[in-house]
Structure 1
Amino acid sequence: MSREQKMLPLVILDVQDAIDQPVWTDKNNPHYLDVICKLLAHWRAENRPVIHVKHNEATPTSSYHIHGPWNAIKQEVVPLPDEPVITKEQNCAFINTDLDKTLKEIGASGFVLTGVVIHNSMDATIRAGKALRYRIILPRDATTAVPVRSPSGESWDARTVFEMTLAILGSEYADVTHSSELLK
């Protein structure tokens, strides 16, 4: 791992109790949280920066609703007192948040992104981050997808959604890797 990679913060996106609600079932990678926990423990052990992003959805029917019972960050990745928590109200972690400012304050030219789900907030955050000229490393085993259904009724299973999204993001927007490469 290069010196530059050692300085990259770990960003944990939308890993909240909401992700365990029925709307998010049939994940292609049910072990994504275990991988995030391993990465988090590694980052903390090496005293590397960790940033948490918490989604506070205004829509009352959302599992991520700001005042809903499942809005809390999952206990497995609960932030330490010195780890910043960025709150967002949109799918993208850069829109109307302090993420860009926080990354700049710590001198980060990029970040390692983990969280949920790859074809929603992860995708939006990666594309915006790339537009802001950040280098984004995406460990494929530290995220997941769920099935997608189109308005016309066509549907795609979670594995297809996952692989297609990674292919698109990896072609231009992020360095797709495996957590084992980051833990070396």
Structure 2
Amino acid sequence: MSVQTDPTPLVILDVQDAIDQPVWNGKNNPNYVTVIQRLLAHWRQKNWPVVHIKHNEPTTTSTYYSHGPWNGIKAEVEPLAGETIIAKKQNSAFVGTHLDEVLKGMSATRFVLTGVVIHNSMDATVRVGKALGYTIILPSDATTAVPVRGLEGRSWDAATVYDLTLAILDGEYAHVTTSDEVLGWI
């Protein structure tokens, strides 16, 4: 990856209080929020574009329910005045939102994607973003996974889900790297 001379937007996806509820227990990479904070501080210091994606789930039983007690963006990554906030109702941040228009308005051809969880909304956002022609930079330490149970009852731990999802996305859909490498390029 080459050194970037134009500001690349930092996208923070679904980092809301909802992710700390018991249904999301078992996460790997517990320091992902600290990593996002570090990237966010760098972007803010450079006065580069930051986009917060907030999931407003219409299903009342979801921890991300739009009117539920845990729908707020986590205090650790709270948007500042002037930072873009986009609400979504689907798994991909591009579906039913104006994210594509916002990025095009920034003349962005690539973006750095952080957030939760890698095998759900992160994966969906990466795939749609790639289909729209974006280069997606995915720092692996700025995301997490949770355990997954299959239809036949087989379970996969969060680390396995995380590793497999990142391996699938790397190369064809995104450039999987680390936050240290991102900060070294930008």
What TM-score bracket applies, with the shorter chain setting the length?
A: over 0.9
Partners of 1:3 and 1:21 in 2: CA distance: 37
User: Is 1:8 paired with 2:16?
Assistant: no
Partners of 1:65 and 1:118 in 2: CA distance: 20
- Structure 1 SS opposite 2:152: coil
* Matching residue of 1:138: 138
CA RMSD of aligned residues (A): 0.9
- Structure 2 SS opposite 1:80: coil
* TM-aligned CA deviation for residue 32 of structure 1: 0.2
* Matching residue of 1:117: 117
* TM-aligned CA deviation for residue 3 of structure 1: 2.9
Q: Output one character per residue of 1:51-110: Cα deviation in whole Å (capped at 9) or x when no partner.
A: 000000000000000000000000010101100101000000000101000000010001
* TM-aligned CA deviation for residue 171 of structure 1: 3.3
Q: Output one character per residue of 1:4-52: Cα deviation in whole Å (capped at 9) or x when no partner.
A: 5x52100000000000000111111100000000000000001111000
Stretches of structure 1 that go unaligned for 5 or more consecutive residues are none
Partners of 2:83 and 2:151 in 1: CA distance: 40
Structure-to-structure mapping, 1:154-173, within 5 angstroms: 154-173=154-173
Q: How many residues align?
A: 183
* Matching residue of 2:49: 49
TM normalised by structure 1 equals 0.97
Stretches of structure 2 that go unaligned for 5 or more consecutive residues are none
Equivalent residue letter for 2:4: R
Equivalent residue letter for 1:2: V
TM normalised by structure 2 equals 0.96
* TM-aligned CA deviation for residue 151 of structure 1: 1.9
Partners of 1:22 and 1:44 in 2: CA distance: 32
Equivalent residue letter for 1:164: L
Identity of aligned residues (%): 65
